[in-house]
Chain A
């Protein structure tokens, strides 16, 4: 029972964490809550769906339900959404940033979120899609603990992506520049950092990671127009829990939210999953508004 909750929670928590990294980075850097971030995940899942369809069918790899086309499609989806995020910033957010009021950006992102989601619903209809019709067999990991091979692979790739992201943030000049701008934009600019470039890189990385989360969600659950929007509250919860701007915080926050959701299912039923993220977030805001790893409120 406990083991099953942990494995389910960790898998969905890893996806939440992946999505929350981009959210927390743009939040920390540009000082606004991007309500359109969940749609990056949805768009990633749909781009991958189209790409996988175009690449044709191939035999599933080992115990997985999907073959190599989906792996290529994942990369296509991540690249496409990275560009989408960049484009959205160029047409909308960057122009509004010049006016100064951060809350206007939030309203704009709320509008962008509905437009992006509804555009997919217009193109593909409200029905869910699946990457494959193969049936995922569960593996018995321990007595009473089962997981599909898909889940295990998704978890492994998500952990790898997070690790790569963490190393980028701590070991590379780009990551250092990003943290510097996030901490003090004016000082960073004085030190000769090209802030516009840092912002662009952040959108690219955040969009790509959210797209990966969307594809993984599509593999383990299904692809539908509201998937990213339903992910939005868990994403915010993870970002706030971990502390705005903190990459490790987003990962830990994602895990906590994932496990809390999984643990709540036997108690209150699966229909309240989104509410669980909200309650955890509210508790954190009341007790420690700057989050676990945050530096400012």
Chain B
């Protein structure tokens, strides 16, 4: 029984960590219409910065400042925001799909740096012994899992609340106006580049936070965690849940992570032992096809964006 409960805690914790990244992506894509294919890169920046700031010093690579975890997460958000600011300033003024290609390239480059700058990042072996929150409880799995879940849930709830406020604020309305009709919004004196850059940077900071939380929760990071398949997972979460809706982003994260975990068990059970690596590949095929089906059959996702302008129209 405790085994199942602690697994559920683990499951929910990971799902909510993904949820934070999906919320960040929702601000960029659902809110501002920015197509970011570099989610994995921003998560990697957050994870490595948090690891450097909070882990104890080791001889094999840089970092080891042994700072409190909260500072690590703050630093992670700041670093991811800075990277996003640089990428965004270079490409946001260009066509929308150039941003897709550039963020993709940035994520690939960041992953290569993580893999090859061994003295900074530990190279392919990554960074281990990243302190976990509530490490004192580690001997009691259920209490440890519940405490971690509570912490991640509080962070996710805060992010959710802040984003809901933000999207309902005048700032959020400008963002949607720009997405729907850039020329009209610009004619009202709103600078498209500035608002887009802000949305891009805030979203990337959340992806950095998500990466940092994951690093801290697992206690270990390696460059292989930040391959484009991570970006893809977060995208599937948002598209399935419903872009433009923060609830949809969180719901999508839970549903997709559940499907991902289930299909993992399924393929592990069905395939012979030598085929485990191939089973993982089959899982990616399945989820790729699922994304295509959602886009074709239910483009609004499970929940979808609520129409926000119709209130007065209906009254009138």
Report which A residues bind B (CB closer than 8 A).
32-33, 35, 92, 95-96, 99, 102-104, 106-108, 110-119, 121-122, 125-126, 225, 229, 232-233, 236-237, 240, 269, 271-272, 274-275, 277-279, 281-282, 285-286, 289, 297
Contacts and interface: CB of A to CB of B under 8 A. Distances in A.
Nearest to A226: B227
Q: Which 8 pairs of residues, A with B, have the shortest CB-CB distance?
A: A115-B288, A278-B105, A118-B284, A121-B281, A111-B291, A118-B281, A122-B281, A275-B109
Given A108-B291, A114-B288, A282-B105, 12 more contacts: A107-B239, A108-B292, A110-B231, A111-B236, A111-B287, A118-B283, A118-B285, A119-B285, A121-B277, A232-B104, A236-B101, A275-B113
B311 interface: no
A122 B278 contact: yes
A32 B295 CA distance: 16
Given A111-B236, A114-B229, A233-B108, A106 B100 contact: yes
A285 B91 contact: yes
A112 B288 contact: yes
A168 B281 CA distance: 39
Q: Categorize the interface residue count of chain B.
A: 35 or more
Interface string B110-143: 0011011000000000000000000000000000
Contacts of A103: 33, 35, 96-97, 100
A281 B289 CA distance: 31
Nearest to A275: B109
A107 B112 contact: no
B135 to A, nearest CB: 35
Interface of B: 33, 35, 37, 90-91, 94-98, 100-102, 104-106, 108-109, 112-113, 115-116, 228-229, 231-232, 235-236, 239, 277-278, 281-285, 287-289, 291-292, 295-296, 299
A24 B104 CA distance: 17
A286 B94 CA distance: 9
